[in-house]
Amino acid sequence: MNREDVWKYLSFILTLLLALAIVSNVLLYMQTGELQKALTEENKTYRFEVQVPNVTIISNDTALQAKITELQGEIEYLKELLRKEKPKEANGTIVILPIMGPIDDYMAKDIITKIKEIEQNQSIGGVLLWIESPGGYVGPVRLIYKEVKKLSYKIPVVAYTGSLANSGGYYIACAADKIIADPLADVGSIGVIYVHYDLEQNYAQNGIKVNVFKTGKYKDMGAEWRDLTDEEKKMITDMVNVYFEEFLNVVSEGRKLDMNTTKEYATGRSWFATDVKGVLVDDLGDLNYAIKTLENLMNVSSAKVIFYDANKIDFGIYQSSSLFMPAKYAISYTRG
């Protein structure tokens, strides 16, 4: 199978996984939401049909999870095929790519630029993501995750944290082949928050009147000069739930967990890594151990290690925003 065929088949498998993930989310709603209530009232039994080109799968929850596991195994096989095409001289160099601090658009640009450089450098045989982050904005986190995931199809990637990989930081770590953490590193915090500034009373108390001319009733939704309507709160809640469902799928896929187990760890809390070994992290150790783990995946020893610089950013939450970040960290970045 040549490289082009591998990529085509990999794209097909990913499309199928996406379809199955959608059905998985429907089943999740059935178990916990209004859909379950409605179906229970009518005492009906449903099954789900997923259609992609030339394939039809009809599945219940157990069969669905089994199929997802099977497809994940095929992805691992295809990753190995792609990695075998790397030239042998590429096997001796490791890049340590740091993701330090809260994540915004500027960090995403910096990290993705470096990933593109790594992809073009045939001498690099593996990447160690050194993550020390409480998370950040939803969009930038998702962008970095996608690029790391694509990179992992070509070369081994190991994520390491010595102290903190919360929420968006952990989200990105799930794109790696393995996650290594210091025993007392703070990991997890799987969840989403939406921060909204409501300064309507503050404006009134200071004699500030805001005139808004808009083209639609939602155009100033989330603006700080007024509160949200009940309808807008429902819309934002739905949006947050969509991001949360995606987070669940990322963890379930990356950590090879069934959805029920994933949800048990998706309460928003974080853990010492030693308490979630074998679930949210693969193993415990320091940076040197993480490097050794990556060398094992690369089938080399004494690899040359290159450190990339970590660019410091001036992070702030200046407007209503969706975040993969614990509230205890978000509050320190909100404007005064």
- List active site positions: 167, 219
Report which secondary-structure segment, H or E, holds 69: helix 61-84
DSSP 8-state symbol, 229: P
Residues in the chain: 336
Whose CA is closest to 91, among 289, 288, 304, 291? 304
Pull the structure tokens for residue 243: 């991001």
Give the angle 189-190-192 at the CA atoms, nearest 5°. Answer: 100
For the sheet with 321-324, list strands across it.
136-137, 321-324, 193-195
Single out the residue of 267, 101, 260 nearest to residue 192, CA to CA: 267
Give Cα separations from 186 to 161, 194, 229, 271 (angstroms). 9, 22, 37, 6
